[in-house]
Amino acid sequence: MKPLSLIDNIMLFMERPAQPMHVGALCLFRPPADAPPDFVSRLAERLRQSTTTAPPFNRRVVRHLGIRFWEESADFDLAQHFVHLALPQPGRIRELLAMISRMHAAHLDRAYPLWRAYLIEGLEDGRIALYAKIHHAMADGVSGIRLLTQAMAASAEDSLAMPAPWELHTPKGGRRSLPVPTSALRSMEALRALTREGVTGVRPVFARMKQTLRDQRGGHPDCVGSLQAPPSIFNRNISGSRRFAAQSYAAARFKAVARRFDATSNDVVLAACGGALRRYLLALGELPDRPLIAAVPVSTRRDNRDSGNEIAFALSHLGTHIAEPAPRLRAVKACMDYNKAVLRTLKPAQLLAYEGLMFAPGALNLLTGLHRQRAIVNLVISYVRAPRRPLYWQGCALHGLYPVSLIIDGVALNITLTARGDALDFGLIGCRKTLPHLQRLLDDLEASISELETATP
């Protein structure tokens, strides 16, 4: 038995009836061409034969004297964690997304290891779906996707020999990302470590802070500070109900725009999201004058190889105040370039400390929910890298891998995408009550990408 880390504890502490703290993913698969009609039932039956469970899948939270520990559960109850489901007729993607929305709203039971996987049949196009969720105290979005993809193989044949996902041991990444920029706590640790290095370790942090605050006061258009996000419908308290929308786009479309604008694909993703959000909010009559601010996780990985998930949050505006696509993309790129310049001047530990100090007031708001009007961000846009090669699971080809992330009071929308093969798989999760017709954002996104494709740099 190992006590929970501070971050694991925060993830459990932040959980409220309307705010479950698990992350998930929806995978779509194409069964083999010669699959019999009872293919999925047989697959479910085969997976149910599984008798071993590797960490973290066998770990549950227990309390002793008020302290929480991870206990490796001996009496593992597979039927509690692996569920076979079917879509009702006609089995369209919209029925699937409605089902995922409902399932993602339900809490995991703390008496058991905090994960569940659903194998879903009945899509009209013959594909099958796997939806899995895991508590953020057990895995973050990045490691969650890794837990799924490591049970897949590069060929249909090899994949048949792979064990069930929960039979594969997965060590937890060293530092894990938070679903929202609440790095204040982690960064205190970083700051303490830096002060041990003496003044040379700490000085760049404060120099950078001074510069940022000066840029912010001077109205530097590319510098986004803490507490600069405009009030918006995304910054309300959330209900316990969710709406999930998902769509794949060809990565080549983003790359082509990026090439023409001398930007990165990531810049194009952010500008496309900005354009989509602008359309969506205009239709609702809810577009703020000032640009929406997104928390955008960026990797701080340099050369040290064991820091799997070193992720910092950058704040980027999304150019939602700019009607034309080309100037919007240029503005977003400039903001991200500013962020990268900050990243470059600081070492990872320094960056953590810098972020913690800069975001502390907003992060405190998010954690405690004390003062939600002063938003640190309007939404989170996140990014997970999956293997580039084609993947197969239990004989089926992977067709889509959509993150189903989490939202919290004051941040009612999360857009996470997976870069997989030649596609970007977007997963949008929002509060059903706060954000009407979330699925329209997918149409808006398509329109926004098309607009960028024809825009002149």
Judged by the rule CB under 8 A, the positions of this chain that interact with its own copies are 17-18, 38, 40-41, 44, 77, 79-80, 83-90, 95, 98, 102, 105-107, 109-112, 121-122, 239-241, 432-433
Which amino acid makes up residue 44?
Answer: A
Q: Which is nearer to its own copies, 87 or 296 (by Cβ)? A: 87
Q: Which is nearer to its own copies, 49 or 454 (by Cβ)? A: 49
Contacts of 200-209 with C-beta under 8 Å, sequence gap 24+, read: 201/349, 201/350, 202/353, 204/345, 204/346, 204/347, 204/350, 205/346, 205/350, 205/353, 205/354, 205/357, 208/342, 208/345, 208/346, 208/350, 208/354, 209/354, 209/357, 209/358
Q: Which is nearer to its own copies, 73 or 345 (by Cβ)? A: 73
Tracing tokens 């964690």 back to the chain, one arrives at 81
Contact 399, 127 (CB under 8 A): yes
For residue 84, the minimal CB distance to its own copies (Å) is 4
Residues 6+ apart with CB under 8 A from 395: 31, 32, 35, 156, 157, 159, 160
Q: Which tokens go with 252?
A: 């080549």
Residues 6+ apart with CB under 8 A from 82: 44, 47, 48, 50, 116, 117, 119, 164, 166
- Which listed residue (136, 220, 317, 437) is catalytic? 136
For residue 19, the minimal CB distance to its own copies (Å) is 11
Contact 259, 427 (CB under 8 A): no
For residue 106, the minimal CB distance to its own copies (Å) is 4
Q: Which is nearer to its own copies, 210 or 437 (by Cβ)? A: 437
For residue 102, the minimal CB distance to its own copies (Å) is 7
For residue 107, the minimal CB distance to its own copies (Å) is 6
136 is catalytic: yes
Q: Which is nearer to its own copies, 131 or 313 (by Cβ)? A: 131
Active site residues: 136
